[in-house]
A = this chain, B = another copy of it.
Amino acid sequence: MTEAKKYIYAFGGNYTEGHGKMKELLGGKGAGLAEMAKIGIPVPAGFTITTEVCTIYLQKGGNYPEEVKQQVAAGLKRTEETMGRKFGDTKDPLLVSVRSGARQSMPGMMETILNVGLTTATIPGLIKRTKNDRFVYDSYRRLIMMYSDVVMEKAAGIEPAEGQGIRQQLEHIMSELKKSKGYKEDKEIPAADLQKLCEIFKAKVHEVLGKAFPDDPVEQLWGAISAVFQSWNGKRAIEYRRIEKIPEDWGTAVNVQSMVFGNMGDTSATGVGFTRNPGTGENVFFGEWLPNAQGEDVVAGIRTPYAINENSKSYANEKLPTLEKAMPDTYRQLIEIRATLEKHYQDMQDIEFTIQEGKLYMLQTRTGKRNGPAAVRMAVDMMKEGLITDKKVAVMRVKPSQLDELLHPIVDAAAEKQVTAIARGLPAGPGAAVGKIVLTAKKAEELGKKEKVILVRTETSPEDVHGMHVSEGILTAKGGMTSHAALIARGWGKCCVVGCGMLDINVDAGTVTIGGLVLHEGDVVTLNGTAGKVYKGAMPVVRIDPEKNEEFRTFMGWCDEIKKIGVRTNADNPKDSVVARKFGAQGIGLCRTEHMFFGPERITAMRKMIMAESQEDREKAVYSLLKYQKEDFLGIFKAMEGLPVIIRLLDPPLHEFVPQESEWEKFSQETGSSIEKIKARVEQLHELNPMLGHRGCRLGIVYPEITRMQARAILEAAAELTKEGVHVIAEIMIPIVGHVKEFVHQKKLVLEEAEQVKKQYGLPNFHFMLGTMIEVPRAAITANEIAQEAEFFSFGTNDLTQMGCGFSRDDAGSFLPQYVQLGIFAADPFQSIDKEGVGLLMRMAIEKGRSVKPNLEIGICGEHGGDPDSVVFCHQINMNYVSCSPFRVPIARLAAAQAQIQYPRA
């Protein structure tokens, strides 16, 4: 007989079976509880049912592996022993909580049921023991509300309309009761009313769901466990996983843990905290608490939580007592635990605790979410403090998307001084957000695709997640720094202001009233998420100057020490080049030349070229552009002195330079061509599939004068500066090459011009590089041929994705979102390289190219160059550099360093 598989891990007291590294099996919460228990931190005893059970349970359509029942019973028994109480005992019953806990935190996305084990049989015993009938009936009504909603309604297969669920019906009953009796707050409801309420609730549940509320503790327990497992496949959870790219097959663990109560009177309390300030990174304990409350009261944002200490105070709770003052001993104990945890985990922790009649219990510890600036500061501080000793660990502490946050625009401080905020709240997500206000998540989803919106809600709930995702910023009337909105916004690095109590939101009327001011849906506001302020209208926003941010510079320096792959930028003017250099760009990976043709005099020349009827006229028009082009390149080369600059020859089809019909009159005057001729030429230039049309080197082959003129302008600019002593590293790039012979054709023209320029400037050894984009699948698969002629490759992954996958970015909107939802692609291949498909073409091209030229310079200049996942891939396939927009350069540098840490390359 083989040993039975282990599905249950106990924790607490002297018997803890798991540990902190077992996140895959126990989930984050389970592993944290086990680890805390192991290192002697007081944790209510319990046990974790593994994620494996989740997967099997869901696969088997709701059936457990045989061994589970027995192991749960054994786990429960051990919990009872540790806590000294029995589950279902009529004298001194043990109550338990049943919570989800996935490998990665998914706040609010799955279910939790508290107070499991309260029945008509156990209630009297609990009342007797606690001498607090109000507390017991309050707990019971909470159990009924949660359980009927989470377990029973789902089991009944009922999908109520929004706001019509059993929970809302029970809440309605409760508010009616409060109204009729004149109670303002829940805590004013006396025990007798609560007891009655529980009876009314149970009757209602029976009536609506067709089943009696279970009065057997074991039935309650199993109902709760199954509901939590099922919630892994709930709509909200699936949506969240899609956004966060969490694989379906991870599953969630279930933690069954002894209940402890923060709502047993004034010596009881509950709280949450961060071992450092998650918004700024400052090394101070930061948290919120509520006396005589259960955990959900803090998180739900229904009551304004108190600050745990002076450091944590905000304008909303500055007058309310701190835990430090109210329960100094417990606070000291917490401070010790904070130190223990930080030392143990070597990272900032997000903790939950409950004080039950003066006794402190830790309910959770996990790596604390933080925003970008805080992440960078913590990483740098912890290295300095010696809490961590390896720069690699520090570098891994910041997600590339968090750097993006750090580089987010902020409201211009100078402008802020001129204006008064219309409202103040808590600074839950830093940065600035300007957008039109929308009052529902649905509206946010609709509008957010087209324009920037600010989602304004009384408070947010998991149902709002998708709408929050598309919003530029989030503003709530209720909730604290650990409310749902704050947590979610912080996770995404989104600008967020919460607890802005002066907002009066009327969804039906579509208005937000602030004092005498009435805003309507669609009005523009600006959020300052760093200061917690709201402004009317659009305020100017600025970006931080990376050179002035000490921690940022230190951190990026570590990245540069570690990374192997270079980071260049895409820039086509001197201004962007300067910005990119400040952000650490090591050259220009893509300087597009087409934008240079749009200046007023230039576009006329370009249009004359298009309309030219003879070779001579065409050449004349093209060469009239030479001086402008040369000026452009002089500026860029100077700005990038000493660094390589890749300039791509003209890429878009000619019809992009032709004006709309309404401007033909002017066009006709400019070019001297008749309207009829313009019309005929426009028709001739029209393309059915412009993406696959007459563009890139196909233009330079049919109109060699374009290539000659551009090459001449680049080379003259480079030669001129070289003569002046400026160190220029010029690389000329031929676009849309699919066949080596196309490259050879263009190469000949460029080299002929180069010979002229060498003579003209007396620079016989003048050097530059000549290479090509790899963006046509044919180029990728014949890269060995092309490498024989080209000195460098640069992947144009936008086009390579379009052609390789056979869908145009402009048109894929009608099916690609569905593809991502169906899991056909794990992510939008235009955002993150399709590694298994397009990536294969890239691997092939690199292998074939380097088989001919082992030192071939290979980079990427598509927009994927700024996508962290794609940077890692580019590192893995041994590219020399990635290139991205100036503001994404730091992100790419960090991604590059993390790539080297995870996949070291020689």
Contact = CB atoms under 8 A, between A and B. Distances in A.
A834 B740 CA distance: 13
Contacts of A741: 822-825
A806 B781 CA distance: 13
B701 A739 contact: no
A739 B688 contact: no
A70 to B, nearest CB: 37
B688 A776 contact: no
A778 B702 contact: no
Interface stretch (A148-156, A578-586, A713-721, A811-819): A811-819
A778 B804 contact: yes
Residue among A691, A692, A802 with max Cβ neighbours from chain B (10 Å): A692
Interface stretch (A59-67, A412-420, A597-605, A835-843): A835-843
Contacts of A799: 806
A805 B698 contact: no
B690 A778 contact: no
A701 B819 contact: yes
A301 interface: no
B782 A688 contact: no
Nearest to A834: B778
Nearest to A694: B814
A610 to B, nearest CB: 13
B777 A803 contact: yes
Report how many copies the assembly holds.
Answer: 2
Contacts of A691: 688-689, 692, 808
Nearest to A741: B824
Contacts of A777: 777, 803-806, 841
A844 interface: yes
Interface in A780-838: 781-782, 785, 799, 802-808, 810-812, 814-815, 818-819, 822-825, 834, 836-838
A778 B688 contact: no
Interface in A840-878: 840-841, 844
Interface string A680-698: 0000000111111110001
A794 B837 CA distance: 19
Contacts of A701: 815, 818-819, 822, 824
Given A688-B808, A808-B688, A815 B781 contact: no
A33 to B, nearest CB: 38
B688 A844 contact: no
A742 interface: yes
Contacts of A687: 808, 810-811
A812 B834 CA distance: 28
A453 B825 CA distance: 51
A454 interface: no
A745 interface: yes
Contacts of A738: 805-807, 837
A795 to B, nearest CB: 14
Contact of A693 (B690, B694, B785, B808): B808
Contacts of A742: 819, 824
A776 B806 contact: yes
B698 A810 contact: no
Interface string A718-740: 00000000000000000010110
A819 B702 CA distance: 9
B824 A739 contact: yes
Contacts of A775: 806
A815 B689 contact: no
A810 B736 contact: no
A837 to B, nearest CB: 4
Nearest to A825: B739
A840 B782 CA distance: 8
Given A741-B824, A819-B701, A811 B693 contact: yes
Contact of A689 (B776, B811, B819): B811
A804 B838 CA distance: 12
A782 B688 CA distance: 29
A777 B806 CA distance: 7
A811 B844 CA distance: 28
A123 to B, nearest CB: 49
B781 A844 contact: yes
A692 B807 CA distance: 4
Contact of A778 (B782, B805, B808, B819): B805
Given A701-B818, A776-B805, A818-B702, A689 B781 contact: no
A825 B740 CA distance: 10
B811 A688 contact: yes
A775 B805 CA distance: 10
Contacts of A837: 738-739, 778, 781-782
Interface in A665-709: 687-694, 698, 701-702
Contact of A698 (B736, B739, B782, B815): B815
A837 B822 CA distance: 33
Contact of A806 (B736, B807, B815, B825): B736
A803 B778 CA distance: 9
Residue among A687, A690, A776, A777 with max Cβ neighbours from chain B (10 Å): A777
A834 B824 CA distance: 31
Nearest to A836: B782
A903 to B, nearest CB: 22
Contacts of A803: 692, 777, 803-804, 806
A689 B815 CA distance: 14
A540 B309 CA distance: 99
A579 to B, nearest CB: 31
A823 B739 CA distance: 11
A802 to B, nearest CB: 6
Contacts of A785: 836
A818 B698 CA distance: 10
A505 to B, nearest CB: 32
A263 B742 CA distance: 54
A689 B695 CA distance: 14
Interface in A110-142: none
A777 B167 CA distance: 53
Nearest to A785: B836
A823 B781 CA distance: 20
A5 B778 CA distance: 42
14 contacts: A687-B811, A688-B691, A689-B689, A692-B807, A701-B822, A738-B805, A739-B824, A739-B837, A742-B819, A776-B805, A777-B841, A778-B806, A781-B840, A782-B836
Given A693-B812, A741-B822, 10 more contacts: A687-B810, A690-B811, A698-B814, A739-B825, A741-B823, A742-B824, A745-B822, A776-B804, A782-B836, A803-B804
The 10 nearest A-B residue pairs measured at CB: A692-B808, A689-B808, A776-B806, A693-B811, A777-B777, A778-B837, A741-B824, A688-B810, A694-B814, A687-B811
